[in-house]
Amino acid sequence: MPAWAKANPTPRTAARRGAVAALALLLGLVVCLPAAARIDNSKNRDNPTNVASPWTEDLAREVGIIEKVNSPIPNDITLIDESGQSVELGSFFRSDRPVIINLGYSRCPSICIAMRILLDTTLPDVVLNMGEDFIVLNVSIDPQETAEVSAEMQETTLAELKEAGVDVSAKGWRFLTGTPEAIKALTDAVGYRYMYIKPQNEYGHPGVLVLADGEGVVKRYLSGTAYSGRTLRLSIVETSQGKVGSLFDQAFVTCFVWDAEANNYTATASFIMMLGGGVTILFVAGLVWAGFAYEKRRRQLQGDTHKAMPNPA
């Protein structure tokens, strides 16, 4: 078990975890409504920023996720890392290590902030070795972002993780940028649909984590503001096909299946039947045991009665 899993959270960290749910919920309400779409200039029709109604309709139609579970992600997509070096996406895939892909951009005023904070605060509950058992890739959808921005974001994020008690190196959470062509290749591969809002220089985009296995195949989508640390851990375990995690985790993901609508695990029909059968067997066994116990006690009482009776003269 890694050392950070044993550390007791500080009062500051505990308070921070308690506040994150409210913040994530608040920011999650604006997941597909960037600032531009929330501006209401309907009373000034000549204002060139009067884009509330049309952009809101476009966002509802164009922005979202088309899930592509079991679809491969191209390994030859070239991105730029925090030091400004070109790296191929395939270099992050390793057979025994799932990859969490978090798409967004650093200037995002809403959902990206909530997603990063929630990921920061749930990682201590994952209790897996970040960087070895899994890695996180933050990939910007804004082609104007630079390696310097990536480096600043990484430094801030790692500092927040260390404050939360997570011992992680820079290789555990990477921040990447790319050309428009590279970004499009990745977003198309995972079904991530977003749009650029030119008047406000912002993006409308969904909030979701994409989990891929060590071969670069999409396995799971997690809503960016509605999951627990336990759910994240089990998703990583399942994505790894049991190569990370405990035997209990593997048994759990065998008996429970992912419910995309609930964004959580639910019991399988066979598990429910097995559980019901087990309860029935225990109930019947309890009745049989109670019957034997009653009969044994009855015989003991009869024997005591016979012993207490005086012998006839």
Domain of residue 133, CATH code: 3.40.30.10
Average pLDDT, integer, range 132-139: 94
Residue 59 falls inside a structural domain: no
pLDDT tens digit sequence for 184-210: 999 999 999 998 888 888 898 999 999
CB proximity list for 257: less than 8 A, separation 6 or greater:
265, 266, 267, 268
Provide the residue range defining the domain that includes 296. Answer: 269-308
pLDDT band at 17 (very low <50, low <70, confident <90, very high): low
Q: Is the pLDDT of residue 306 over 70?
A: no
Instruction: Tell me which residue has tokens 């116990």.
Output: 293
Examine residue 69 and state whether it is found in any structural domain, yes or no: yes
Same domain, 263 and 278: no
Which tokens is 247 given? 């035997």
Q: Give residue 245's pLDDT band: very low, low, confident or very high (50, 70, 90).
A: low
Is the domain of 196 the same as that of 294? Answer: no
Question: Does residue 45 form part of some domain?
Answer: no
Q: Are strands 99-104 and 208-212 parallel, antiparallel or unpaired?
A: antiparallel
Task: Judge if 177 and 263 occupy the same domain.
Answer: yes
For residue 252, what are its two tokens? Answer: 């759990």
Contact criterion met (CB below 8 Å) for 59 and 204: yes
- Please give the Cα distance from 25 to 7 (Å, whole number): 28
Whether 217 and 281 map to the same domain: the answer is: no
Same domain assignment for residues 167 and 296: no
Query: Is 153 found in the same domain as 289?
Result: no
Residues 212-225: pLDDT tens digits?
999 999 999 998 77
Claim to verify: residue 279 and residue 174 sit in the same structural domain: no
How do residues 28-40 score in pLDDT, each as one tens digit? 444 434 333 333 3
Q: How confident is the model at residue 271 (pLDDT cuts 50, 70, 90)?
A: very low
More confident residue, 45 or 312: 312
Report percent pLDDT > 90 for the chain: 34
